[in-house]
Structure formats: C-alpha cells, structure tokens
Amino acid sequence: MIWLLLSCPIALLGQGVVSGRVVSRDGSPVRGVHVVRVESGAGTTSDSLGRFRLECELPCTIALSHVGYREETRRVERHDEPFVVVLRSSDGQLEEVIVTAVTSAGNMRSTSGHIERVPAILGEHDVLKWLATLPGIITTNPFNSGVYVRGGNSHENGFLIHDMPIANPDHLTGILSTFDPYILGSSTLYKSGFPARYNGFLSSYLNMRPDAGGKSRHEGEATLGVVSSSLKTRGPLAKGVASYALSARSSYLRQVARLYNRGRRGEVEPNLMPEYAFSDVTAAVDASLPGRWRLGAFALFTTDRLNMKLSEHFLYRFKWHTLSGNVLSTRTRESGDEWTVQAGVKSAFSEGGSMGSVPMGGGNRYLTLMSRLSYSRVFPGGLRAGAGARAEYNRFETANREDGYGNVLIRSSDKIFRLYDIYLDLGFRVNDYLTLEGGVDYQYHDGEARTHEFSPRLKVSYAGRFVLWADFAKSVQYLGLYPYFTVKTPVDIWYPLGKGNRPATCYQYSVGASREMGQRFSAYAGLFYKSMWRVKDFTRDPGATYAASEERQIEGKGDAKGFEVDVAFHYRGLRAGGNYTLSESKRTFAEINDGQAFFPPYDVKHHVVLSLSWTPGRRLTMGALWNYSSGVNTTFPTGIVVAHNLADEEDRPVLIPVYKERYNYRLPPNHRLDVSVDYSFERGPFTFKVSAGAYNVYNQSNPSFVYFRPEEGEGGLQRLAPRSKVILPFIPHVSLRLIW
C-alpha cells in the first residue's frame, strides 16, 4: 500500500464550484458584481443577495469588480468553503478588504487567526482551546482530558487528519493540547449534519487539514515560555514542487510544579500541584507534480508523564504516549473526477499506578491500521457526489497488574477486530438559496461480535438573509472507555465490543439559524436532541481482598437535549463574543443505581463563555476569556468496610469505601478568568512577539476531582472524609516568540 501511495502523487488541480457573497462596508449585499476567473476569463455576476457561483479548475484566482468599488482579487484553493468579500469604496473609505469564511449550516471552521484570538493560556495557542469557546462544547475541569459536545461523552468525539482518524493525543485538555495551529490551524468541526464519510463516533468530528508551508522560502518560529518551549519551521523541499512543516515542543511544567509545592511544605493538608512533563512532534509534507498529481503525509507523536501526590502516603503515577500518521495520494482528471487513496496508522500506550493504602494500576495499548479509497465529483447543475470504502485492523492489549499480594487487579485481555465500511454522499443545490444533502454509510464489524449497521444522514439548508437548517444523522461507535479515575484521563482503557454486543448508536436531530450583518455582527441559535442506545459502561465487582476488580461491559440508553446561542461583534480592532448552552444529559443502565436514570459526570446544565480581544494597533493585542459551568456529578461513598488482612505502611487497617450508587453528589460550579497581552516588534529580518498573562486570574478554587481520606473521629471511630483536588491555581506566564 505504501509503495502504491508513493507511486501515485496527488493532483492540485480539480474542477470545482466557487461560491460566495459580496457585501458593502455596511453589510448590504451588492448586486451585479462581475466575478471573473483570471486564468480563463470565464465569469458570472452576483444576484440580489450578493451571492455568486462560478465553475473553475482549482486552485484559481477570481477578480471582483463593480462601478463605485475598487477591484479585488481572491485566491481560492477549495470549492467547499464559501466566503464573504467586503468591497472597498472607490474613494478609499475602507483601508483593507476583509474576507471571512461563511459558517456552514451546523458546521464551524477555524483558521490560525481564529485560534490566536483566544487568550494564550500559559503562553500556548491550540485548536482545543478554540473549540472550548464554541457553543455546545465544554471542558469540565483542567485535569479532565476531553471536550464534551452537546451532552455526549468525551471519548465519543472523533479527531481526524485529512478525513482519517488519529489517536486521541491528550495532554491536559483545557490547559494544553497537542494540536499545534502552526501546522493544524485549518479545521472543520461537525457538531451535527455529519457527512456519510464520517462514522465510528457518536458526538462530533473534527477534521484538520495540515499546512505544509510555502514552496518558495524557509520560515520558522522559536518560542521560550514558562511552561514549555518550541521550535517550528517550514519551507520548500524542492522549490515550487514540495514543501514541509515541522513543529517540536517540550515542557518543564514539572519544574514549575516543584517550585510551587516547595512553598506548601509544612501545611497540614497541602494542595500540591501535579508534576507534569510532556513533549510532542508534528510534521507534514506536501508535494505537487506535473500531470495533476499531489502527495501528502502527516505524523504526530506525543509523550507524557504525570506524578500527582495527594498526601505523604498516596501518589499517582501516569505515563502515556501516542503515534498517528497517514499518507495520501490524489489524482484529479480533466473531467473533474477525483480519486484519493490513503493509508494510516494510530497507536497509543498508557500505564497508571498508585502507591498508597491500596496499590493499584494497569496498562494498555492499541494499534489501528487503516486504508481508504474515495471518489468525488462536482456535476453541472449543482450536484455533488462522493463515494468511498475503508478497511481497519484493530488490536487492543491490556496488561496484567498485581497488587503485591499475588492478586490480579486487571487481567490480560487482548482483542482484535476488523471494520469495513462503504459510503455514499450526495449534495444538490436546488437554487441559490436551497441545498439538500444526504448519504448513507454501511459498516461491518468482525471481532468477538459480528454485526453490521446502516447509518443514514439528511440535511436541508436555506441561505437567504438568514441561514436556516435542519438535519438528522445516525452514528455508531464500537469502542467503550473504562475509566481508571473518577474523571476521564489519558490512561483510561479502551475496550472493543464483547461477544453478543452491538455498537452504541445515536440518533441526532438539530435545527438552527444564523445571521451575519456585514462584518460587525453575527448571531446563531440552535436546538439539538440525541437519542442514544446501547451506550457502553462498566460494572465493578469487588474481589475477596476488596482491591481486585473485573471490568464487565454493560449496555444502556440515554438522551441529551439542549439549546445554544452565540453572538459576536467586531468593530475595527475590537472583537467581543459570548455564548450560552443549556443542556441535560442522562444515562440509564439496569446494573447501575438500580436501573434509575442518572446524570453522568459530564452533564453540565449551564455553560457560559465570554471573550474580548482588542487590537489598538498593529503591534499590540489584548484578550480576556471568562467561562462558567455548573457543577458536575461525582460519586460519594455510602459507607466503609475494613479490608481483611491488609494494612498500610504504619500497620493501620485499610478502609475501603462502599459505593452503592454512582454520581450521587453534584460539585459546586466552576468559573475562571484568563487574560493575555501580546506585543510584537521587528528587528532586521526577525519579528519578536512577547506574550504575557495569567491563568485563573482571581485564583478560583475549582475542584478537579474528589477523593476520600480515612480519619479518626470522636471515640476512635473511623470515617472517610471527602477532599477536593484543585489542579491549577492562579499562574502568571510569559513567553517570547521569535519569527523569521
């Protein structure tokens, strides 16, 4: 397969349809604008709403002209990204032309510019921080390595590069992630209206497109920060033909934590900061050759270590790493047919352990090999079609782990399954306002469970002064996640379907509306409902020593429903925005809480995000981000027992909590303010950018998780006292970025 890919480069050119809208400075549509493809002279004119469509080979350059306005040009690389062009008055009233992406119905696109408007938390910009500012998406706490979309679990989200899944490369999400916008700044998020080519996850899909840099000159960045430092570069491999991009980053947050913890010595119950270290490397290559061919490759490697001390006698130790990569080859024929062949790999390894009253731990790894063949074409008359086939090989390994007394805590459980699917995507533009999209995906799962699933999709969208849409999608997921902790962590254990199981299934319905009023104001509102069946969880059956546990996959049902609204305002250098999400998520399992419905730990009723950025000049940018979320549910024990023949280091009996029901206590709300200031200046061929700011400005004590410590009460009675862990307090930060 690799030989085939290397012998079949990818075409840069392809027949497509360029679509967009032309408006004046006040946001009014401009009718009768001449839109011409520079390379061929073919053209069209905008309608009464300022909209236009033009068939041309991509990439291409279009020119827009109208009496009373200056002529503008726009370079177009992709046919599926409509855009807005604001024409400048011929008297020069507008200093620059502003081009922005049009929000597609139910989808959101990001660029490096969007991501850099979010405050550089701890001096770092990344894709997941931008995601966490969008309506319908939350992060529950700094320690929880996941984003939660519209009431779904964090492991129900798919992360893709060029439409191929990658291993979830978790750092401490909400604080640090591995998606570097230097290479992965361009992405599309699907919260609803999923194309048929996406299946295997229930809640959302984030498809990222690597930028391998320019083919004309070398450039780069070097960043020195409080938390981490990085080195990034991109440029030509063969001038005008091939280019590369490379980013490497390493942290010293562990040293920062040790300095912080040193000041906590002597406290009765010190709130110690975790000692955490990470590094990651991202690389991309892009090449274009004569004859309508193109080659592309991408790779991402991450490694992490985390030591978290709860007390003098209790320490958690974690380590994990991931590897993801894919290569692709595409050819576009003169007729407009486009064929793509891809191959990819994703792999992850994790290991966790604890030292304390009850030793525990485990490790797991998985490997996935993927191949994909796809075809697409844009037909005259507004019809788009895409079809493809994919095959996967998956292997999961869970290591034996003993408690020091010969008792197996986690038994070895190696599993293999194969997944095959085919899909068909169709889109039809009825007129300049109405678009119909639909498709179907068929999957066959061959493992301990053998099953097949049809997943239909349908979306209707109307684009007038308001953009309106309604959509339905069925999606399925074959993997469950066994939580090592009370919150999701990167060392949780992935489990495929067991014998007799069928995949988790989600039927999702959503409607929405959005409005853009020129370049200054935009608004969006949406409703969603999810009906979930055969969702997976695990029961815990205590062994004779109260320390052993066996994982048993169980199936249940659930639903999620809610409302989300988002507004944004832009005037000159000022950008302000805010969104609010009201949602409710429930799950029901016969084996949990006596079959009663419960709110899972990612159910957040209310979530608010407010953002503000101001660029008073070319050099200075100031930003602030405040978020609020209502508390999540956690599990409190209903009693304690004394473990037989077990004692701690001081020969005291070990107390084991008894959990009769799950998620029986709601934690208090979380809220936090982050601020940042960026200042840039030039010295010769270099640009310097200084970033300073603070995380958790007013030092809010947001509990990340709850644990229990044995205490001796009156009369010598033993009890388990709850303690909350605050992972990150107020932390100032500064970084220096050198750009050449």
Q: Domain map of the chain by residue range? A: 2-101, 107-209, 219-739
Across 383-393, b (16+ Cβ under 10 Å) vs e yields ebebbbebebe
All residue ranges of the chain with pLDDT < 50 are: 1-15, 91-104, 356-361, 541-550
Q: Do domains 2-101 and 219-739 have the same CATH topology?
A: no
CATH of domain 107-209: 2.170.130.10
The DSSP secondary structure of 159-170, one letter per residue, reads: EEETTEE-----
Query: Coil, strand, or helix at residue 86?
Result: strand
pLDDT in tens, 199-253: 999 999 999 888 887 667 888 999 988 778 899 999 998 887 889 999 999 887 7
pLDDT confidence of residue 673: 93
**Rounded to 5 degrees, what are φ and ψ at 260?**
-65, -45
Contacts of 222 (CB under 8 A, 6+ apart): 229, 230, 231, 232, 737, 738
The correct CATH number of 219-739 out of 2.40.170.20, 3.30.750.24, 3.40.50.300, 1.10.357.10 is 2.40.170.20
Contacts of 265 (CB under 8 A, 6+ apart): none
Q: Count Cβ atoms within 10 A of the Cβ of residue 706 and give its class: 0-12 exposed, 13-18 middle, 19 or more buried.
A: middle
- Residue 94, CB half-sphere, CA atoms under 13 Å: how many? 22
pLDDT confidence of residue 105: 55
Contacts of 31 (CB under 8 A, 6+ apart): 46, 47, 48, 50
Homologous superfamily (CATH) of 2-101 is Carboxypeptidase-like, regulatory domain (2.60.40.1120)
